[in-house]
Structure 1
């Protein structure tokens, strides 16, 4: 079952579900981050730029990637204050950061696709809790969505124009080795990625209007058709109202998906 929770959104991205059950998303084309309560009441925070993927920090702030300002930024909801956390790596501007995820030690992993639709120049970074950033993987065709396993040891990355989801194990040094986990339809491909409690990996396939579910234990694939051809963001709901939350950019909707 698929429920349209909110409509009329301006290229919704993200999303992330907070511990209180609220869904946070970004509106890329409106330069805003939205908090959507369980009663569907919306609180909007203007950010400027083009906010994309977001995640909740342990201190309650919302971190997000901004592909126009080329920065990882932070929203403090209580004050509506916006701060830039990182905008350069190796002496150069970040390449249009796209999505991010927190590790267990307070470190942040984020993707930078830049203009890597045809040339494999995209990369993945780690920002540690002390503020030091390093590239941990590169040579990618538009690295997009990213998520971590519950123990923080395994990283999943959607490589959009490679039409696949990649997986890698963290280690004490960089870089890490990302290997293909499963493929998606083209000509665009995997966008957001999320990990279900049973270990199933879910990705929304931009341009194909579907969610692809991959079970690593059985190596089986199941597809769920969506009412939006360009789903972009996907997240699990820890409170279990909907197993998956998906943003649809073609029609500007937030969807709740029951498996």
Structure 2
């Protein structure tokens, strides 16, 4: 027997990347408003924090911070009101937004897309590159961000949009973004913790 579908919030501008806050509320991004939003009972989606740019996905760390993939504010023809640096952003419980990473191993982030914590405490995320299906200027990449704030490029791939949004690193949704490429397989479960970025690589 199928369960009925409950509409939790509607009228949103490209919602993605939901996760659950420690208090049980659902937090998610709304790309076309540059917001991270939270689902309040009886209120639909309300603003948790405005981040500027284009928020692509979010995940809650074991420290209670919300980590956000930030594409900078450009998706095809769409441009955000406030352009920011493509990055991994972090929202503290007090509402402060800061940058965790804007580049890794000298490679500037272009359009981080989806993210997941691994059991070793590392944050894995994909970077699809610029959404330009004609010129395809950018390779796509999978990154690992270590708990100490350093990181590495795990894999550099062909432009993801040559695969009509179905490329191996363009996974949209709550499951772990870095999934599989040929013989490489990354398993990054969303539960249970640890999800904390702290001193030490934990590798």
TM range (shorter): 0.5 to 0.7
Are the counterparts in 1 of residues 69 and 115 from structure 2 also a CA contact under 8 Å? Answer: yes
Choose from 69, 72, 82 the match for 2:88.
72
Q: Indicate the residue corresponding to 1:148 in structure 2.
A: none
Superposition deviation, residue 20 in structure 1: 3.4
Q: Indicate the residue corresponding to 1:14 in structure 2.
A: 17
Q: Indicate the residue corresponding to 1:191 in structure 2.
A: 172
How far apart, CA to CA, are the structure 2 residues paired with 1:28 and 1:81? 19
Superposition deviation, residue 91 in structure 1: 1.8
Secondary structure of 1:29 counterpart: helix
Deviations 1:172-200, CA, capped at 9 Å, x for gaps: xxxxxxxxxxxxxxxxx8532527xxxxx
Q: Indicate the residue corresponding to 2:147 in structure 1.
A: 129
How far apart, CA to CA, are the structure 2 residues paired with 1:8 and 1:162? 24
Q: Normalization by structure 1: what TM-score?
A: 0.54
Superposition deviation, residue 114 in structure 1: 0.5
Superposition deviation, residue 3 in structure 1: 2.0
User: 1:133–1:17: structure 2 CA closer, same or farther, 3 Å change rule?
Assistant: same
User: 1:81–1:134: structure 2 CA closer, same or farther, 3 Å change rule?
Assistant: same
Superposition deviation, residue 55 in structure 1: 0.6
User: 1:141–1:2: structure 2 CA closer, same or farther, 3 Å change rule?
Assistant: farther
Q: Which runs of 5+ in 1 are unaligned?
A: 144-158, 167-188, 196-200, 202-235, 239-259
Q: Are 1:30 and 2:46 counterparts?
A: no
How far apart, CA to CA, are the structure 2 residues paired with 1:132 and 1:190? 24
Map 1:208-227 onto structure 2 (within 5 A).
none
15-24 or 54-63, larger mean C-alpha shift:
15-24
Structure with the bigger percentage of strand: 1
Alignment length (residue pairs)? 161
